[in-house]
Every structure is written in C-alpha cells, then in structure tokens.
Amino acid sequence: MARSDAYHQGTVIEPGLPPSPLTGHRKPIVKIVRRRQEMPTMLILRGNSGSYADEEGNAHNYDKGALHEGPAKDLAARKRYTPMVLDVSGDSKPPAPDAPVGKDGKKHGTRYDSPQTVLALKTFRDDTSITAFYGFSGGGYNLWWILSKLTPDERKRIELVVVVGVDTDKPQADYDKSKFAGAKWDLIYRPNHPKNHMFEPEALLLDEQRVPFYVRCEVKDW
C-alpha cells in the first residue's frame, strides 16, 4: 500500500505526582508527544497504450498506458495526496467477435469491464487510504465507469476527482457529483486539446499552481 507518513507534534498534560501534603495541589507533568499524520492516496489512471510524445516531445511507446507521470504526481502532492499510478493501460476491452458495428463501420471495445476499470475497482476497495482519482485520456473515460460501479457508501469516501484529456463526448457534467448517489467530491476537469493531448497534465498543473495552496492534515494516535 502506498502511503506517506509525516508527524505532528503536540502537547499532553498528565495528572502528575500525588498532591502535596502541604498545599493539596497536584503538579501536572507536561510532555511533548509526536503523532503520526497520514496522507490519503490519489489513484492515477493512465491513458491508452501506443506511441505518444514523452515529456521532451519525442515519440515513446507507452505499452502500459500513456501518461506524463511527473505532473500527475505533482498535482497529487499539491493537493496533499500520496500518488499511486495504476500500472495498467486505459485501453478498452477488445470487442467480442459478435460485437455490433458502430456508425463508423467499426467494432468498438468496452470500458465498463476493461482491465483498468476492473483493477481500479479492486484496488480502491482493498485500500481504504484511496480517497481521490485522477484519470488521463482513456483513464478518464474508464474513471466514469469506475464511479458508476461504486456503491453510494463507497462514493462517500471520495474527496476529489480529476479528469484530464477527455474529448467533448464526455463533458464535465457527466462527472459531477450530482449525477452519482452518495457522492460529495470536488471535481477538476480539463478537456482534451488535440494538438497538446499528452501535455494536458502539465497544463492542468500550471492552472492549479495559480490556485492558493492549502494543507490537509489528518492526525491519528500511534
């Protein structure tokens, strides 16, 4: 389980020694204690596999799914999450032999049961530290199916949904919390700009850097 631990220092006042026989007062003992502070996790979903521009603009074969991980992880850190990149591409499940032909004359795969969708659901359910999602391109399309398949109680755990690089056929409104029972998440949405598709994570990070930085803190006792 990916998790980042930090520490919070605080003061504890204990009852102290027995009361003085002269004054009847008990002298307290003041101790400085350290508590563990845990950052929640953001599950990051890659795009489709294939040859795409890397961070330097050079062609790169992303066999495990296209994504510029640096800016995606930096956004997670900025929002005070530990980034966890799911190591599977966002490709849809290949079409079955008897799949219908679409309007474009082609058979299309499915995303509701894609390998990434299935693994992301399992990972979310197995790791209760995950309270945020980031979906890029194909991962953004799969993210809609993931959110749809969660129960209302499971959706209550999600604090933030980030969708990056999807086309206009999946508009921002489709991911809004009002469309999902039990949801209360904040939504960050950046649509695809075809000429800069692979660099949408960088552009989103720049946008968010213009937003005032905030600190999340969850303190738990050892």
Question: DSSP label at 107?
Answer: B
Number of domains in the chain: 1
Q: Which two tokens stand for residue 167?
A: 């086309």
User: Is position 122 within any domain?
Assistant: yes
User: Is position 10 within any domain?
Assistant: no
User: Whole domain around residue 89: which residue ranges?
Assistant: 40-220
User: Is position 22 within any domain?
Assistant: no
User: Is position 213 within any domain?
Assistant: yes
User: Is position 149 within any domain?
Assistant: yes
- Residue 53: which CATH number? 3.40.50
pLDDT of 90 reads: 97
pLDDT of 28 reads: 57
Cα-based distances in Å from 133 to 10, 151, 160, 195: 32, 16, 7, 25
pLDDT of 213 reads: 53
Q: Report yes or no: 134 and 194 within 8 Å, Cβ to Cβ.
A: no
Q: Which residues pair with 7 in a beta bridge?
A: 36
User: Is position 6 within any domain?
Assistant: no
37-74 pLDDT tens trace: 589 999 999 999 999 999 999 999 999 999 999 999 99
Range 62-84 burial, b when 16+ CB lie within 10 A, else e: beebbbbeebbbbbbeebbbbbb
SS (H, E, C) 119-167: HHHHHHHHCCCEEEEEEECHHHHHHHHHHHHCCHHHHCCCCEEEEEEEC
Q: Which two tokens stand for residue 71?
A: 């800016």
Positions in the chain short of pLDDT 70: 1-37, 211-222
99-111 pLDDT tens trace: 888 888 888 889 9
User: Is position 2 within any domain?
Assistant: no
User: Is position 133 within any domain?
Assistant: yes
Neighbour count for residue 118 (Cβ, 10 Å): 17
Q: Which residues pair with 53 in a beta bridge?
A: 59
Query: What is the C-alpha radius of gyration for the chain, rounded to an integer number of angstroms?
Result: 23
